[in-house]
Amino acid sequence: MSTLTAEVGQTLPGFTRTLTRADLVRYAGASGDFNPIHWSDAAAADLGLPDVIAHGMLTMGTALRVVTDWAGDPGRVRSYSVRFTKPVVVPADSGAVVDFGGTVTKVEDGVATVAIEATCDGVKVLGAAVAEVLLG
């Protein structure tokens, strides 16, 4: 494992990902979460949703890429937690564009704490998204 360093205020490289209905189908198959709000317009409408929504865990997992891409090894992630604040609405024609980024907020005892941001159409979709990463 190569050496990884961090300092408070360091901005990690972010990325943008378009989540499509095909992504939702693939994730449903991989996760076993076939809740119809992730693939059925009618089921989403019945619950008052504007369209189908992405799986929260898909959004959460995609957001962690900010950290794993920077760290170079997913094994460096010591902990990760988020609060789901808004669903990612995935229109059939265009998908949903989600922007991800991260900032180091603390470095102590060989561990960097990273605050992760995830927004869709300028709206924060994950709150209190924090990962702890082993340095060294």
Q: Which helix H or strand E contains 37, and what residues bound it?
A: none
Rounded to two decimals, the pTM is 0.94
- Does pLDDT of 1 surpass 80? no
Q: Which residue has the tokens 């300028």?
A: 122
CB-based contact 42:94 (threshold 8 Å): no
Residue-wise pLDDT tens digits, 96-130:
999 999 999 999 999 999 999 999 999 999 999 99
Start-to-end Cα distance in the chain: 9
Dihedral sign of CA atoms 87, 35, 42, 22 in order: positive
Distance of CA 8 to the CA centre of its chain: 21
- Does pLDDT of 18 surpass 70? yes
Tokens of 118: 């995830």
Tokens of 106: 């603390």
